[in-house]
Amino acid sequence: MTGGTVESVLGPGDPAPFALFNAAGNSPFLIIGDHAGSAVPRPLQSLGLQPDDLRRHIAIDIGVLGLGRALAILLKAPFLHQVYSRLVIDCNRLPTRPDAIPEISDGTPIPGNRRLTERSRTARAAAIHGPYHAAIATLLDARHAAGEETILLSLHSFTPTLDGVTRPWDVGVLHVSGRNDFALGLRDALGERSELTVGDNEPYAMDETDYTVPFHAFARNLRYAEIEVRQDLIASPSGQKAWATHLAEAVRRAAGVLSMRDRSAQETLASGQESIRRGRA
C-alpha cells in the first residue's frame, strides 16, 4: 500500500489527478477546488478507511464540487479542481509538510498514511499534487499571455462543529489582511445580507499553512479570495445552486464586473428612474 513510484500511486483505471469543468469559460474568474474530490487511488486500498469516512469532511470539502460547477456556469468561468481526497495528499499544503499527508485527521487515524517512507510521500506528491498545481499554473500563464486578467476564487467548505464547538459563520472570506480590496469587497458584499454571518478570516485565517492562493496568486499579483462555505448549507444540489447565486452576485460586485445582462438591466433601471424623476419634475 505504500509504494514509492508514481505508477504505484495511480493504478490503471484511476482518474487523472485534476478535472477542468467549463474550460471555455472566458470571464476574468478562475475557480479552484483543492478539496473537491474524494477518490483514493486503487493501489492505496482506500487508505484502510471505511466508505463512510471517505464521505466525511476529513476526506473532502462537502458540497464544493456541486457549488463550483454551478458557480462556474453563472460566472462563465473554468473550474479546475482536485479529484483525489485531501487524505491522499492535501493540495493546499506544501507537499513536504507533515500535515500534507496526515496520520490522524480530526481524531480519526488514517491507517494508509501511517509511517510512510519519504519515497512514498514524494511519489504521492509527484502523482497528484504536482500535476494539479502545474495545471493551475499553465492556465494562469496562458491567460496572462493572452492579456486576460484572472481573479482567483479558491472554494472550500467547513464543518459546522469542530472539537464540539459550533461555528457561527455561514461563509468566510480568507485573505491576507489589508492587502486585497477584492476580498474585502466580497466580504462586504456578502455581509449586506443581514441574515448571513460572514467571517473575516474565519473560521480560518489565511496563513503560511495555505499553499494554493499564496503560491499562484501572490507570485502573479492576482486579485483573489479564498471562500469557505459551511458544508451543511451546500450539502444538497438546491443549497449549492442557491449559494452559487449568492456568491456570483457578490463576487461580481466585488470585482466591479457586470455581465451584459446585468448591464442592460441596470440601464433599464437607470432610465426608469430617469423617467420617474422627469415625470415628477
Residues of this chain that interact with Zn ion (CB under 5 A) are 35, 61, 156
Q: Among residues 86 and 143, whose Cβ is nearest to Zn ion? A: 86
* Intra-chain end-to-end CA distance of the chain, in Å: 80
3-state secondary structure 160-192: CEECCEECCCCEEEECCCCCCHHHHHHHHHHHC
Q: Among residues 13 and 98, whose Cβ is nearest to Zn ion? A: 98
Instruction: Detail the DSSP E strand segments found in the chain.
Output: 18-21, 29-33, 79-82, 104-105, 108-109, 151-158, 161-162, 165-166, 171-174, 198-200, 223-230
Judge contact between 31 and 79, C-beta under 8 A. yes
**Nearest distance from C-beta of residue 221 to Zn ion, angstroms:** 24
Q: Among residues 67 and 176, whose Cβ is nearest to Zn ion? A: 67
Closest-CB residue for Zn ion?
156
**Nearest distance from C-beta of residue 61 to Zn ion, angstroms:** 4
Q: Among residues 60 and 74, whose Cβ is nearest to Zn ion? A: 60
Cell of 141: 500563464
Helix (H, G, I), strand (E, B) or coil at 19: strand
Q: Among residues 35 and 133, whose Cβ is nearest to Zn ion? A: 35
In whole angstroms, give the CA distance from residue 223 to residue 197. 23
**Nearest distance from C-beta of residue 212 to Zn ion, angstroms:** 10
**Nearest distance from C-beta of residue 240 to Zn ion, angstroms:** 15
**Nearest distance from C-beta of residue 145 to Zn ion, angstroms:** 29
